Amino acid sequence: AQSVTQLDSHVSVSEGTPVLLRCNYSSSYSPSLFWYVQHPNKGLQLLLKYTSAATLVKGINGFEAEFKKSETSFHLTKPSAHMSDAAEYFCVVSGLLGGSQGNLIFGKGTKLSVKP
Protein backbone atom coordinates (compact mmCIF):
# COMPACT_ATOMS: atom_id res chain seq x y z
CA ALA A 1 0.00 0.00 0.00
CA GLN A 2 1.09 3.53 -0.68
CA SER A 3 1.14 6.31 1.88
CA VAL A 4 2.68 9.72 2.32
CA THR A 5 3.65 11.58 5.47
CA GLN A 6 4.21 15.30 5.65
CA LEU A 7 6.34 15.86 8.69
CA ASP A 8 5.32 19.43 9.45
CA SER A 9 1.77 20.72 9.63
CA HIS A 10 2.96 24.33 9.66
CA VAL A 11 6.17 25.98 8.48
CA SER A 12 6.91 29.67 8.91
CA VAL A 13 9.73 31.45 7.11
CA SER A 14 10.77 35.02 6.45
CA GLU A 15 10.55 36.46 2.98
CA GLY A 16 13.78 35.86 1.08
CA THR A 17 14.84 32.86 3.16
CA PRO A 18 14.87 29.23 1.99
CA VAL A 19 11.83 27.00 2.17
CA LEU A 20 11.91 23.30 3.09
CA LEU A 21 8.73 21.26 3.24
CA ARG A 22 9.34 17.65 4.18
CA CYS A 23 7.63 14.59 2.79
CA ASN A 24 8.28 10.88 3.24
CA TYR A 25 6.51 8.20 1.30
CA SER A 26 5.88 4.50 1.54
CA SER A 27 5.41 2.42 -1.55
CA SER A 28 5.89 -1.16 -2.58
CA TYR A 29 7.21 -0.08 -5.95
CA SER A 30 8.70 3.00 -7.57
CA PRO A 31 5.97 5.56 -7.21
CA SER A 32 5.00 8.72 -9.01
CA LEU A 33 5.23 11.62 -6.58
CA PHE A 34 3.76 15.09 -6.78
CA TRP A 35 3.58 18.34 -4.92
CA TYR A 36 0.38 20.37 -5.16
CA VAL A 37 -0.28 23.85 -3.79
CA GLN A 38 -3.64 25.13 -2.59
CA HIS A 39 -4.18 28.86 -2.23
CA PRO A 40 -7.27 30.03 -0.33
CA ASN A 41 -10.43 29.75 -2.40
CA LYS A 42 -8.53 28.31 -5.34
CA GLY A 43 -8.13 24.84 -6.76
CA LEU A 44 -5.13 22.62 -6.19
CA GLN A 45 -2.34 23.45 -8.61
CA LEU A 46 0.37 21.02 -9.62
CA LEU A 47 3.82 22.32 -8.66
CA LEU A 48 5.91 19.44 -9.90
CA LYS A 49 5.97 15.69 -10.36
CA TYR A 50 8.48 12.88 -10.26
CA THR A 51 8.00 9.92 -12.56
CA SER A 52 11.27 7.93 -12.43
CA ALA A 53 13.26 10.23 -14.68
CA ALA A 54 15.66 12.75 -13.10
CA THR A 55 15.68 12.58 -9.31
CA LEU A 56 15.85 16.37 -9.01
CA VAL A 57 12.61 17.78 -10.31
CA LYS A 58 12.11 21.43 -11.10
CA GLY A 59 8.64 22.87 -10.87
CA ILE A 60 6.87 26.16 -11.26
CA ASN A 61 7.53 29.32 -9.26
CA GLY A 62 11.10 28.33 -8.43
CA PHE A 63 10.22 25.20 -6.46
CA GLU A 64 12.07 21.94 -6.80
CA ALA A 65 12.06 18.57 -5.11
CA GLU A 66 14.56 15.74 -4.88
CA PHE A 67 13.55 12.09 -4.93
CA LYS A 68 15.75 10.10 -2.54
CA LYS A 69 14.92 6.44 -2.68
CA SER A 70 17.30 5.50 0.14
CA GLU A 71 15.53 7.92 2.46
CA THR A 72 12.06 7.46 0.93
CA SER A 73 11.82 11.23 0.84
CA PHE A 74 10.59 13.83 -1.61
CA HIS A 75 11.19 17.15 0.12
CA LEU A 76 10.11 20.40 -1.52
CA THR A 77 12.50 23.34 -1.52
CA LYS A 78 12.79 26.89 -2.76
CA PRO A 79 15.88 29.06 -2.35
CA SER A 80 14.05 32.27 -1.52
CA ALA A 81 10.51 32.55 -0.23
CA HIS A 82 8.09 35.11 -1.60
CA MET A 83 4.99 36.42 0.12
CA SER A 84 2.87 34.87 -2.63
CA ASP A 85 4.17 31.41 -1.66
CA ALA A 86 2.02 31.42 1.48
CA ALA A 87 -0.41 28.53 0.95
CA GLU A 88 -1.13 24.92 1.81
CA TYR A 89 1.16 22.35 0.19
CA PHE A 90 0.33 18.71 -0.35
CA CYS A 91 2.70 15.87 -1.05
CA VAL A 92 0.96 13.22 -3.13
CA VAL A 93 1.79 9.69 -4.24
CA SER A 94 0.07 7.86 -7.04
CA GLY A 95 -1.98 4.89 -5.95
CA LEU A 96 -1.32 2.88 -9.07
CA LEU A 97 1.71 3.34 -11.27
CA GLY A 98 0.28 4.14 -14.66
CA GLY A 99 -3.00 2.61 -13.64
CA SER A 100 -6.10 3.72 -15.44
CA GLN A 101 -7.69 4.95 -12.23
CA GLY A 102 -4.95 7.50 -11.61
CA ASN A 103 -5.67 7.27 -7.91
CA LEU A 104 -3.84 9.88 -5.84
CA ILE A 105 -3.05 9.61 -2.14
CA PHE A 106 -2.61 12.91 -0.35
CA GLY A 107 -0.55 13.86 2.66
CA LYS A 108 -2.18 15.94 5.36
CA GLY A 109 -0.71 19.13 4.05
CA THR A 110 1.79 21.70 5.27
CA LYS A 111 0.72 25.26 5.72
CA LEU A 112 3.48 27.65 4.69
CA SER A 113 3.47 31.11 6.21
CA VAL A 114 5.81 33.80 4.90
CA LYS A 115 6.65 36.73 7.14
CA PRO A 116 7.66 40.09 5.66
Partner 1 sequence: GAVVSQHPSRVICKSGTSVKIECRSLDFQATTMFWYRQFPKKSLMLMATSNEGSKATYEQGVEKDKFLINHASLTLSTLTVTSAHPEDSSFYICSAAGLADLAKNIQYFGAGTRLSVL
Instruction: Decide whether 59 or 109 has the Cβ nearer to partner 1.
Output: 109
Instruction: Decide whether 32 or 73 has the Cβ nearer to partner 1.
Output: 32
* DSSP bridge partners of 67: 74
Q: d(Cα 1, Cα 91) in Å, to the nearest integer?
A: 16
For partner 1, the binding residue among 59, 76, 109, 112 (CB under 8 A) is 109
Q: Which stretch binds partner 1 (CB under 8 A): 16-24, 67-75, 78-86, 106-114?
A: 106-114
Task: For the segment 32-91, give every residue that binds partner 1 (CB under 8 A).
Answer: 32, 34, 36, 41-46, 49, 51, 90
* DSSP bridge partners of 13: 114
Q: Which residues bind partner 1 (CB under 8 A)?
A: 9, 32, 34, 36, 41-46, 49, 51, 90, 94, 98, 100-104, 106-109
